[in-house]
Structure 1
Amino acid sequence: MDINKSSLHTDIDTVLNNYDFDFSDVEVTSLGNGHINSTYKLTTSEFEFVLQQINHDIFTKTVELSENAQKINTHLAEKNNQGEYPLAVPQQLLTKNGDTTIKIGSNYWRLMEFISDSYTLEEVSSPEQAALVARSFAQFSCALSDFSAEELSVIIKDFHDISFRMSQLSTAIANNTHNRLAQCQDIVDFCLSQQDFINSVVEISQKLPLHVTHNDTKINNLLFAKGDVPCAVIDLDTCMPGLLMHDFGDMVRTCCSNLAEDDTSTEEMVFKYDIFEALITNYKEAFGDTLTPLEKQSLIIGAKLLPFIIGVRFLTDHLEGDHYFHVDRENHNLDRVKSQFQLFKLVCEAEPELLKYAE
């Protein structure tokens, strides 16, 4: 194994003993750069797999999470076999006992198929690439349109509920457990001044239909094959009943800024109109006539909401001592807050121009 920390090595060996594969000679390397879970690639002479340790502090419903993924993958595989879903569906591997996860100590693990010669990308580099991203995530939701969202467990309650996230922030402000409020009071004041926007989100959310949504539609949650062609949607951890404006908004959040979400050069941020046009045009086209007029309007609100709500979450985590998101430096979450709120402002400024795409 390339990863030679003894306790991790032992845990991985124990996990793999629960599967019907020969792992006597396996190479283990870290895979990806997610905020939450720890993910590894396993390579043997015959197979390639993805092994993931699920962060049970964040995903407390770990079994339900993997069961959700199993239901979604089964449905998508059927659609793929019928020619109604063009992307591959990497499956979870069941243990010898038929389980989707294995628990070692207090940690939960799962084994998944790895699509050979596939890779991820960290940023959208062109409108053409943005079009592919939008179509892939739209195809994912379209293929699940006849799957009842109510069949899925809610993994993180109120995940994109702006009222709940503002309530969490209010508690963090009131408690100020790490004495960080003074250094970011101006940012807190800006956040609290957006009540009219928050009210508009609450109002439209009550009128929109539920879908099975991915809820983390970053480009690095797509696998690509040779030629930068999307071949699979991955990371189904936050798949739940939700609203399409959340998925679309997260694409805008992660594709339409010229800066990384933790870049400190916020004054140099620009909003990429050409990327936005590619995203919304291709997202709507992939759905065809199935989007309601209100859902089309909601996409613009989602484009504002996701930078704002993620900024609220980063701000809450900063005030509470950085216990949710991985941080690599002092004030890392605060840097993320500034970036997200700057993007929110830019989308708001662009809104008059963006509204033409809501028709």
Structure 2
Amino acid sequence: MSKAVERTAINKVLPHYHCSLNNSTVAPLGNGLINSTFLVRSINGNFVLQKINPYVFSKPAEVINNAELINNHLLSKQAQGQYQLTPMRQIKNNLESVFSLVENEYWRAIEYIPNCYTVEVVETPEQAQQVANAFAKFTYALGDFPAHELTTIIPNFHSLNHRLLQLQTAVEKNSCDRLTLCSELVAFCFAQHQFIEQVATLEHNLPLRVTHNDTKINNLLFSANNNKPIAVIDLDTCMPGFIMHDFGDMVRTCCSNLPEDGTNLEKMQVREDILSALAQGYLGELDTKISVLEKQSLVIGAQLLPFMIGIRFLTDFIDGDKYFHTDYKSHNLDRAKNQIKLYSSLQEIQPKIQEMIVNFTQ
């Protein structure tokens, strides 16, 4: 969307929130790659305006309604003193709706939280512990929310079997004639029989909870006053799921010493101090509030998310880079190699991960 078209669209949306470009300023906010997000400073106060990306989220109204259900529950918990973070309150428009449909595009307004900032990379164990503890508070506060009431926004999002089937289909089609460039990596993925069976067994026995499903550090707001997490943001992928997915995504995005597309794989190391801090922060909140099996599943989750996202990168490479944005021809293949290497590295230290989690003490 060009800036002129974007400005025209925003000018049609703002009257739904009792303002216009004549009495407001609008500026892009954040560095999100999916939705279009803006900070609106109006005569009636500041708020965040966001357009939902329909190409990623085919059910934009359900995305917004899910967030409303979650936020209302968290607001209730906060009022009872059972949730210490700030829920991301959605603002109703002049029709008392939490979304505005303008020219077949879905927009929403979200309460702006001042004096806060986001962080892109975990730097210290203390920071990692804060991150894990904040996401654990979010999970626990939603522990009595009926997960089945949420719409599943992206079916099979964290289904390993589904991702393996997608890889198998891509291999069979080999539509871009790239299979020879990654045949060994493909074979390695399909050879992980024992791990795949472990995951399948867990999925049949773990309780479904409301999970965030994108637990990167940049999905937290930090207070500028004390540099601690103040809010969990980006609820678009909140769905029924397993807590091993949320913990595993924290491990995946925080614990490698290389970026996700780093190619110097012989130098990859798992930052064990960060991993230990994640376990301390997560279980510090949840240890006595989850089952023994859920606690044990975190060991598998730590390995599962790098393996699964590695499979997704590999599938997209074979398919011709249709899903993930790439900067060069082998970008997705480099990402796949990176994540599968991280999976292997985490498997090598599984006894240490087991020690961190199963033998956790406050």
Same fold (TM over 0.5): yes
Deviates more, 1:86-95 or 1:329-338: 329-338
Displacement of 1:20 in angstroms is 2.4
Displacement of 1:277 in angstroms is 0.8
Contact 1:48–1:116 under 8 Å retained in 2: no
Displacement of 1:347 in angstroms is 0.4
Contact 2:287–2:295 under 8 Å retained in 1: no
Q: Quick one: distance in 1 between partners of 2:347 and 2:321?
A: 28
Give the counterpart letter for 1:325 in structure 2.
F
* Match of residue 330 from structure 1: 329
* Match of residue 227 from structure 2: 228
Q: Secondary structure at the match of 1:40?
A: strand
Q: Quick one: distance in 1 between partners of 2:144 and 2:59?
A: 25
Contact 2:212–2:238 under 8 Å retained in 1: yes
Q: Are positions 1:254 and 2:253 aligned together?
A: yes
Contact 1:141–1:212 under 8 Å retained in 2: yes
* Match of residue 303 from structure 1: 302
Q: Deviations over 1:139-167 (max 9, x none)?
A: 00100111111111111111111001111
Q: Quick one: distance in 2 between partners of 1:315 and 1:38?
A: 28
Distance 1:47 1:60, change over 3 A: same
Q: Deviations over 1:30-55 (max 9, x none)?
A: 33333422322223466332222222
Distance 1:101 1:331, change over 3 A: farther
Q: Secondary structure at the match of 1:41?
A: strand
Q: Deviations over 1:202-258 (max 9, x none)?
A: 011111111110000000000001232100000000101110100000000011111
Contact 2:313–2:332 under 8 Å retained in 1: yes
Q: Secondary structure at the match of 1:17?
A: helix
Among 160, 178, 181, which residue is 2:179 paired with? 181
Contact 1:95–1:101 under 8 Å retained in 2: yes
Displacement of 1:59 in angstroms is 1.0
Q: Quick one: distance in 2 between partners of 1:104 and 1:308?
A: 40
Displacement of 1:326 in angstroms is 2.6
Displacement of 1:118 in angstroms is 1.1
Distance 1:52 1:181, change over 3 A: farther
* Match of residue 93 from structure 1: 91
Give the counterpart letter for 2:127 in structure 1.
Q
Q: Are positions 1:219 and 2:178 aligned together?
A: no
Contact 1:36–1:325 under 8 Å retained in 2: no
Q: Deviations over 1:81-111 (max 9, x none)?
A: 2211000112112222222222333432222
Aligned-residue sequence identity (percent) comes to 48
Q: Quick one: distance in 2 between partners of 1:30 and 1:264?
A: 32
Deviates more, 1:241-250 or 1:311-320: 311-320
RMSD: 1.8
Distance 1:122 1:76, change over 3 A: same
Give the counterpart letter for 1:65 in structure 2.
V
Q: Quick one: distance in 2 between partners of 1:207 and 1:19?
A: 46
Distance 1:322 1:42, change over 3 A: farther
Contact 1:149–1:240 under 8 Å retained in 2: yes
Q: Unaligned stretches of 5+ in structure 1?
A: none
* Match of residue 169 from structure 2: 171
Q: Deviations over 1:306-356 (max 9, x none)?
A: 001111112222222322223333332222212211111110111022111
Deviates more, 1:71-80 or 1:174-183: 174-183
Displacement of 1:22 in angstroms is 5.0
Displacement of 1:4 in angstroms is 7.1
Q: Quick one: distance in 2 between partners of 1:262 and 1:290?
A: 36
Q: Secondary structure at the match of 2:117?
A: coil
Q: Secondary structure at the match of 1:232?
A: strand
Q: Quick one: distance in 2 between partners of 1:51 and 1:173?
A: 41
Distance 1:267 1:171, change over 3 A: same
Displacement of 1:357 in angstroms is 2.4
Contact 2:19–2:43 under 8 Å retained in 1: no
* Match of residue 77 from structure 2: 79
Distance 1:20 1:312, change over 3 A: same
* Match of residue 141 from structure 1: 139
Q: Secondary structure at the match of 2:55?
A: coil
Contact 1:284–1:291 under 8 Å retained in 2: no
* Match of residue 313 from structure 1: 312
Give the counterpart letter for 2:88 in structure 1.
P
Contact 1:63–1:100 under 8 Å retained in 2: no
Contact 2:132–2:250 under 8 Å retained in 1: yes
Among 35, 38, 41, which residue is 1:40 paired with? 38
Q: Quick one: distance in 2 between partners of 1:283 and 1:138?
A: 5
Q: Secondary structure at the match of 1:112?
A: strand
* Match of residue 155 from structure 2: 157
* Match of residue 348 from structure 1: 347
Q: Secondary structure at the match of 2:182?
A: helix
Q: Deviations over 1:271-318 (max 9, x none)?
A: 011111111122112014111111111001000000011111122222
| Runs of 4+ with >6 A deviation | none
Contact 1:28–1:40 under 8 Å retained in 2: yes
1:112-127 correspondence runs (5 A): 112-127=110-125
Contact 2:245–2:305 under 8 Å retained in 1: yes
* Match of residue 241 from structure 1: 240
